[in-house]
């Protein structure tokens, strides 16, 4: 993929790139719609990437089909004080799967422009860039996971202090992302509205935020104790809370989640990411993953944990 980004650079602009970088997408195991409330989240970087090759140019240019486009590059450049670049990108992060291809684009850009940057600083710069470029007041989770996730681990992040610790993730559990087929741009969803409602303390929204943060704590403990049944139960409760209290699910997503729950080998499943369509996370015993993908009745991506762009 790296050499493909370089080839694309040469085709688009002629000459050789000056820098190369890549950053992973992410899943979120649990802790949804709590990052911007200063809550706890448990994402993981996964082995699907955006690859970049770039060099200084006269204006910001991006040769790619990756989401976000030049606006995102330019917004990261503005945060880091970098001049315009010509960039080519390739990726194996399926668009619309809710695996944060835009965060990966931002973080890869930061890694290409300033590889020595502190990972936390990079995540914060990329969060501001995404907010500025999209108008969506996203939290820091996606950028943080893409920057600082580690292979073999999930990352327990306290979004109020940005302290984090790595939590081992079992090698024989597969992370399956299921596509609901419902495409949406975050800027067209009530994401900002939900955030305002949570900040204003609306009772249902508050109940979700408080209960979800508690579930992150319990899930982390269950993962550490290898209590898979408890992990599954908490995913189920998280989904119910996102559906009923935070109201970010859709009937189509609910139907897929219920089908996933009923499929052999599935430890648990829930809507993942911002919601309003998008994707579903399922944790599946490795030995059952092929059968699961065949039976769940919607497109799936099976992934493993990976290193973030700034993980050292």
- Could you say which of 7, 65, 142, 172 is catalytic? 142
Residue from the set 274, 281, 289, 303 that interacts with ligand GLA by CB under 6 A: 274
Q: How far is the CB of 83 from ligand GLA (least distance, A)?
A: 27
Under the binding rule (CB under 6 A), the answer on residue 26 touching ligand GLA is no
Under the binding rule (CB under 6 A), the answer on residue 138 touching ligand GLA is yes
Cβ proximity to ligand GLA: between 32 and 61 the closer is 32
Based on the residue annotation, tell me whether 142 is a catalytic residue of this protein: yes
Under the binding rule (CB under 6 A), the answer on residue 283 touching ligand GLA is no
Q: How far is the CB of 10 from ligand GLA (least distance, A)?
A: 33
Q: How far is the CB of 17 from ligand GLA (least distance, A)?
A: 28
Residue from the set 24, 139, 149, 277 that interacts with ligand GLA by CB under 6 A: 139
3-state per-residue secondary structure call for the chain: CHHHHHHHHHHHHCCCCCEEEEEEEEEEEECCCCHHHCCEEEEEEEEEEEEEEEEECCCCEEECCCCCCHHHHHHHHHHHCCCCEEEEEEECCCCCCCCCHHHHHHHHHHHHHCCCCCHHHHHHHHHHHHHHHHCCCCCCHHHHHHHHCCCCEEEEEECCCCEEEEEECCCCEEEEEEECCCCCCHHHCCHHHHHHHHHCCCHHHHHHHHHHHHHHHHHHHHHHCCCHHHHHHHHHHHHHHHHHCCCCCCHHHHHHHHHHHHCCCEEEEEEECCCCCCEEEEEEEHHHHHHHHHHCCCCEEEECECCCCCCC
Q: Which of residues 254-273 bind ligand GLA (CB under 6 A)?
A: 273
Q: Which of residues 30-69 bind ligand GLA (CB under 6 A)?
A: 32-33, 35-36
Cβ proximity to ligand GLA: between 86 and 194 the closer is 194
Contacts with ligand GLA by CB under 6 A lie at 32-33, 35-36, 138-139, 141-142, 273-274
Active site residues: 142
């Amino acid at each position: 993929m790296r050499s493909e980004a370089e080839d694309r650079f040469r085709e688009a602009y002629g000459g050789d790139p000056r820098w190369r970088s890549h950053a992973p997408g992410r899943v979120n195991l649990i802790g949804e719609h709590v990052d911007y409330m200063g809550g706890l989240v448990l994402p993981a970087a996964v082995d699907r990437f955006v690859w970049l090759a770039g060099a200084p140019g006269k204006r910001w240019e991006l040769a790619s089909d990756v989401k976000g486009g030049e606006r995102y590059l330019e917004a990261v450049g503005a945060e880091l004080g970098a001049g315009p670049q010509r960039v080519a990108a390739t990726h194996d992060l399926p668009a619309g799967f809710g695996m944060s291809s835009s965060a990966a684009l931002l973080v890869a850009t930061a890694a290409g422009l300033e590889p020595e940057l502190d990972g936390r600083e990079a995540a914060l710069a990329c969060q501001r860039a995404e907010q500025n470029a999209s108008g969506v007041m996203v939290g820091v989770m996606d950028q943080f996971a893409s920057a600082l996730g580690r292979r073999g681990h999930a990352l327990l992040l306290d979004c109020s202090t940005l302290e984090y610790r790595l939590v081992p993730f079992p090698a024989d559990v597969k992370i399956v992302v299921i596509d609901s087929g419902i495409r949406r741009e975050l800027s067209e969803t009530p994401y900002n509205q939900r955030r305002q409602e949570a900040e204003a303390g609306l009772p249902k929204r508050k109940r979700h935020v408080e209960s979800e943060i508690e579930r992150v704590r319990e899930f982390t403990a269950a993962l550490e104790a290898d209590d898979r049944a408890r992990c599954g139960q908490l995913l189920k409760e998280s989904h119910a809370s996102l559906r009923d209290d935070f109201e970010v699910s859709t009937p189509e997503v609910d139907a897929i989640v219920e089908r996933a729950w009923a499929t052999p080998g599935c430890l648990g499943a829930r809507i993942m990411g911002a919601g309003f369509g998008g994707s579903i996370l399922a944790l599946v015993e490795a030995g059952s993953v092929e059968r699961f993908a065949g039976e769940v009745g919607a497109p799936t991506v099976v992934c493993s944990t990976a290193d973030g762009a700034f993980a050292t």
